[in-house]
Structure formats: C-alpha cells, structure tokens
Structure 1
Amino acid sequence: MIMLGGGAFWFKSQSDDLLQATTDSRIRVTTPRAGDSISSPLSITGEARGTWFFEASFPVVLTDWDGLIIAQGVAQAQSEWMTEEFVPFQAALNFTKPNNGNPHGTLILQRDNPSGLSQNDAAVEIPILFK
C-alpha cells in the first residue's frame, strides 16, 4: 500500500493474476504458464475436471493481441473423462507468429458445451508472449 496526499492505493502483484490464470477449480494448466514465451508448435498440458470435456475433448484457441484467432484445436483427455475428478489432457497448436509488432497473445481453453446454453459456457484465458 502506498499513501499519497492522504489517499491510499493498493497494488496487486501481477504474479497473483498470472497464477490465477493457470489454476482454476475446474482446470489446471501445466504448460504453458501465464507469461511464458511460446513458439510453434505449442504443446499444451494440464488437467481438467471431467465436466470440462465432451466426448473426451474440449476446444483450445490461440489469439494475438487484437483478439484475432491465429490457431485453434482440440485438447484430448489422456484417461477416463467421465468423472468429476481431474483428468490429464494434452493438445498441440501449430501457428505463425503474428507480425503486428506486439508480442502479447492469449491462450483460451474453453469448456466443451454441446448444449449451446450460455450458462454452461466457461473458459480460462492465459496471457502469453510470442517468441
């Protein structure tokens, strides 16, 4: 906390935000971690609750700083997914590094939602840097 002219300002550590982006009560991402520099092909690993999957998979999207999709694919369960427990997953994305002068991007892991109902939507966004 910093006191300036009678006002108080709270600063939250960026590392707290980065950790929260890669750990969730429903999904835990091992690689890449928030803030990692990535290159193609990108290997994505972690574990998610079985309820995150449908037919043993869920969508994965990589965007540039402007939110433009530069790669998308599917993460596959590596063991029995019909459970409420954590299930290991992996995915790989091939992409071309954005040429917009900004190294920032976002990896988005989306809960598979075959119902199409918005109340069943969920996603984890992980900030990354392009090498």
Structure 2
Amino acid sequence: MAKKTKETEKSTATVAAKAAARIAEETLRLNPDINEVHVTSDGTAFYTRNDAQNHANSLPNREVYSTNRRIAALKAAVAKSKADTAEPAAPSDTEPEVDELTGEAVNDTDNEPANTDE
C-alpha cells in the first residue's frame, strides 16, 4: 500500500471540501429558513454541528465541513465576479499577429518555395 503524503492528503481534502461546499450551498438554497449547515465527508448535511460530528465518528474520514449563509453568499459573489471578468480579446482578423519574442509581425504565408517538379 502506498504511503499517504501531505500532498495527496491535501488533494483529497480539497476534493472533499469542494464536494461538501456544493452540498452545503444546495442545502442552504433549498432551506431558506436555516442559516448554517454542516456536511460530513460522506455528503450528509446536518443543521447542528453536534449531530454532524456524532455521525462523522462512524466514518473513516471524520471531517465536518461547516458553512453559513453569509459565507456561502460571499463565495458565490466571488465566483460570479471571476466569471464576469472579460477574457483577453483574441486578435482580430484585421490586426496582424505579432511575435511575442521579437515584436515583429508574423507572416501567415508559407516561406517555402512552391514545389514545381510535378
């Protein structure tokens, strides 16, 4: 069996945290009357942290991801603003393409002589 390194533990925790964040976001969206949610590593959502921790004790991964409505709204706003930022415009067909290293215009034509041996 391979040893777990800190890097593999971080990547696993990151995947689990992202999945738990999606579950928490969905739970908060579907339940407007609650302000916080706690999600265990198996994806079960709880209204109270104590219930989530009691359930997590029976799991191999005992982590509990907690969030509240304010934090979830802030994360959603940040994600939306990142999505709304304009991507760099692609060069248009009228502007010549410029080589980044030399600063000279890139020649679109083929530099090799035509094959006339046919």
Q: TM-score range by the shorter chain?
A: under 0.3
Bigger relative contact order, structure 1 or 2 (CA pairs below 8 A, ≥6 apart): 1
* TM-score normalised by the chain length of structure 2: 0.24
Higher helix share: 2
* TM-score normalised by the chain length of structure 1: 0.22
